[in-house]
Amino acid sequence: MRLGIAALTLRVVFKILNLNIQHRSYLHTISMSQPGPQTPPLLNLSNSIVSGGNFTQQINHNQILNVLNGERAGFARLLQNAAPNALYDSGHLVDPPKCHPNTRTAIIQTVIDWSSGTTVDEEMNARPILWLKGGAGAGKSAIARSVAERACKEGLLLGTFFFGAGDATRNHVGGLVATLSYQVCRILPEFRDAVTTSIEDDPLVFSRSLSAQFTTLIIRPLSIIFANHSGSTQIPRLVIIDGLDECSANVDSQRDLLFTLQEVTSSATLIRFLVCSRPESHLNNAFSSPRMTNIHYKIFLDDDYTAQHDIWLYLEDKFREIKEGHVFKHKLPTPWPSSDTIQDLTYKSSGQFIYASTVIRYVESPRHRPDQRLDAALNLRAPFKDLPFTELDALYRHIISKAEDPSTVLDILAFPVLYGPWDAEIVEQTLQLEEGDVEVILADLQSLVTLDGYPREVKFLHKSLGDFLCDSQRAGDLYRDFYAVRVQHMARSISIVGNTFSE
């Protein structure tokens, strides 16, 4: 049996290595006297280290083979098809993003109440799918992980899957159902027996459609448990799927997954799905389809007062930590930073935590004075060799370059850069585009740009996007000479007015 490290569940492998002899002997005795495998206790992997997908410690593969051979074939096959990196508490992330203490509390509480069916909003309670959408860097994954952690403590969590575009083990739907099913096995021992039998009856289930996998590996076994449930204890029912927009380059698979979730909720009415993603156009279309409209509720993480307040709190706490613990804290002026500086950083964050967290990571460098690094981030002094917003710039560049026509996208973005929010109809006239073209062309940039109000205005979700586009060093090949662009706009406007009068 081929056992690639990528196909093994991290928890299972470490569980194998850490089981003591007495416990293994006990399990062996039980398995000899009773049919079906027993569920070993959950192991804490908080101090485990994985580098480049390979374990840093020496592993006795014969030992692994021997123990896995002791498992029923169906369960061993389930483990091979699961994606351990997609778990919310996966050990492959050294510092997985979670919400800063005392921030995003209202949103987290809302999701927890919805998952338990206790929110005061009856319409929300009735919807089995909650779509948490937000622009790039809004903190969706941090909220999802914080919800998962709390839901797990409160006995509400059934399973999680965190997609990641840069991780080949979790940037597709291939391991989704197996990973969710494995997590349910840990929570409900009777489920493990049922799903193991199902896999043994159909060993090729993992090559079947997503819908068939959900039916065989989750819905059917759960329905048996729900049917026999006495009601004296609560059965977890929350499933979290984060980063849906990072699932493969094929948008059809993302849409198909949503429609599969709709089928699941109609078959297993107690399951609730929290889906987190950017507001990509194809996802907006899928959620707006007739089959999804009445079964989902959406929360948009926009630039609201709560987000601004939370970012202010985050910045204050982080700057306090720097002043109290940095190696060069004795070099800091008093007071530092000023309230105006924190307010300016909060404003530039536009409700998106990625800007604030990028600034903090840059400022807290142990090799530099924090006050000088902050001045560099605010363009008050020349930057250091490592530029302040490298991570943020890479995000902007990636999203813009994915657009179907990046050149025209940059032509359109020049208007909010130069003039602030700008009427989309005037943009179309100035650039000689057809009516409605702006909305179509910007469809791939809905995590950065929005068409807001009436008349529709092109508006940045990230105020720092304008700073990026105006800086030739940061924008690189996306940079435009905005002085020349402004002259072009003036010439075109004069031409439009002249043509209007001549008619």
149-169 pLDDT, tens per residue?
999 999 999 999 999 988 999
Same domain? For 373 and 429 the reply is no
**Strand 457-460 relative to strand 422-423: parallel, antiparallel, unpaired?**
antiparallel
In this prediction, residue 454 carries a pLDDT of: 84
Domain assignment of residue 481, yes or no: yes
294 pLDDT above the threshold of 70:
yes
Percent of the chain with pLDDT over 90: 64
Element (H, E) at 240: strand 238-242
Q: Give CA–CA dist 406/411, Å, rounded.
A: 9
Same domain? For 345 and 382 the reply is yes
In this prediction, residue 231 carries a pLDDT of: 61
Q: What is the dihedral of CA 204, 208, 211, 217, to 10 degrees?
A: 10
Contact indicator for 155, 236 with CB cutoff of 8 Å: yes
Q: Give CA–CA dist 448/459, Å, rounded.
A: 9
Element (H, E) at 422: strand 422-423
- Confidence band, pLDDT 50/70/90 cuts, at residue 402: confident
Beta bridge partners, 460, equal: 449
Same domain? For 333 and 404 the reply is no
Same domain? For 172 and 155 the reply is yes
In this prediction, residue 68 carries a pLDDT of: 52
Contact indicator for 175, 71 with CB cutoff of 8 Å: no
Q: Which range of residues forms the domain containing residue 332?
A: 305-388
Q: Give CA–CA dist 124/286, Å, rounded.
A: 19
Domain boundary, last residue among 242, 268, 301 = 301
180-239 pLDDT, tens per residue?
999 999 998 889 999 999 999 999 999 999 999 999 999 999 888 877 766 656 788 999
Q: Which long-range contacts (CB under 8 A, 24 or more apart) does 447-456 make?
A: 447/134, 447/135, 447/136, 447/245, 447/278, 447/279, 447/280, 447/399, 448/135, 448/136, 448/396, 448/399, 448/400, 449/413, 449/416, 451/424, 452/421, 453/421, 455/423, 455/424, 455/425, 456/423, 456/424, 456/425
52-82 pLDDT, tens per residue?
333 333 333 333 343 455 678 999 999 999 9
Measured between alpha carbons, how far apart are the two ends of the chain, in Å?
Answer: 80
461 pLDDT above the threshold of 80:
yes
Beta bridge partners, 422, equal: 458
In this prediction, residue 230 carries a pLDDT of: 62
Domain assignment of residue 140, yes or no: yes
Domain assignment of residue 86, yes or no: no
Q: Which two tokens stand for residue 235?
A: 């059965």
CATH number at residue 176: 3.40.50.300
Count of Cβ atoms closer than 10 Å to residue 434 Cβ? 8
Choose among 133, 141, 136, 97: nearest CA to 396.
136
Domain assignment of residue 318, yes or no: yes
Q: Give CA–CA dist 404/435, Å, rounded.
A: 18
Domain assignment of residue 288, yes or no: yes
Same domain? For 409 and 445 the reply is yes
Same domain? For 311 and 359 the reply is yes
3-class state of residue 161 by DSSP: strand
How many folded domains does the chain comprise?
4
Same domain? For 159 and 284 the reply is yes
Choose among 80, 170, 182, 96: nearest CA to 139.
96
The pTM score is: 0.79
3-class state of residue 496 by DSSP: helix
164-183 pLDDT, tens per residue?
988 999 999 999 999 999 99
Same domain? For 382 and 280 the reply is no
3-class state of residue 371 by DSSP: helix
Domain boundary, last residue among 25, 60, 76 = 76
358-381 pLDDT, tens per residue?
999 999 999 999 999 999 999 899
In this prediction, residue 56 carries a pLDDT of: 31
Residues in CB range of 377: below 8 A, 6 or more apart: 359, 362, 363, 388, 389
Top pLDDT among 109 and 305 is at 109
Same domain? For 290 and 310 the reply is no
Q: Which two tokens stand for residue 216?
A: 């065989």
- Confidence band, pLDDT 50/70/90 cuts, at residue 249: low
In this prediction, residue 6 carries a pLDDT of: 34
Mean predicted lDDT score pLDDT of the chain: 84
Same domain? For 216 and 243 the reply is yes
Report phi then psi at 141, rounded to 5. Answer: -65, -35
